[in-house]
A = this chain, B = another copy of it.
């Protein structure tokens, strides 16, 4: 691709949380999205409208002449569609996916030029995020493609790195703990507070400080609460309060044990 960066013709395969936020950020950075694909008409048309693109719900109707295909699908769907995505497309086009846990090698045999364009962040359609701070992890089949992808990423973010498939997989696993499981802790707390008729807002200063703290202290050093000081009186009271929710009680017990055990390592 010898074109000017922003003259690239882009097809976006997928219209989920990540695809939606990435498309908007690319648009904002001056790129044009030519076409959006999604299985559902609603997702395809909604995103296409926002980024001023064409759309299709038929994978066989993907434009054949684009320069850059960005695939952002659930892993199992990606595996199923990869043949259709690459078939009959321009041989010098660049194919990338945005998945943390899918190795770059998945493209082998399907495309000549390929790579990975992975923004490490939690995306929801309902919330716009600032891309400046989002780390992008780039991998590509040729050094030139790698440089090109880094250049594109740099139009959106100040934090662009190269990473191997192996490193990206580890980052993704760590991200499930720091983000998805963390958010689930918030959700369990919200359920509890709702049950007791208390507002979730009361937790926000605590949530913010817990996040801010690990900018300064290592998480192990930042740990507080009954489990780390092994305050059995408090732990027992809490387990009693959870006795009507077997699953939550079980999580409380295992997480407390895990905190306590790791503190002694």
> Which positions in A face B, CB cutoff 8 Å?
17, 74-76, 79, 100-101, 120-124, 126-127, 129, 133-135, 159, 167, 169-193, 196, 198, 200, 202-211, 213-229, 231-234, 237-238, 241-242, 247-248, 250-252, 254-255, 258-259, 261-262
Contacts and interface: CB of A to CB of B under 8 A. Distances in A.
Contacts of A204: 214-215
Contacts of A184: 219, 223, 227, 255, 258-259, 262
Contact of A220 (B174, B187, B215, B232): B187
Given A180-B225, A184-B255, A190-B220, 12 more contacts: A17-B224, A101-B234, A122-B206, A127-B216, A170-B193, A179-B225, A183-B219, A184-B259, A187-B219, A189-B219, A204-B214, A254-B254
B252 A258 contact: no
Given A74-B229, A75-B234, A122-B209, A192 B180 contact: no
Given A122-B224, A198-B167, A189 B177 contact: yes
A250 B241 contact: no
Contacts of A233: 75-76, 79, 101
B175 A189 contact: yes
Contacts of A252: 176-177
11 contacts: A101-B234, A120-B203, A122-B225, A135-B205, A174-B189, A178-B185, A179-B207, A179-B209, A186-B222, A189-B219, A247-B261
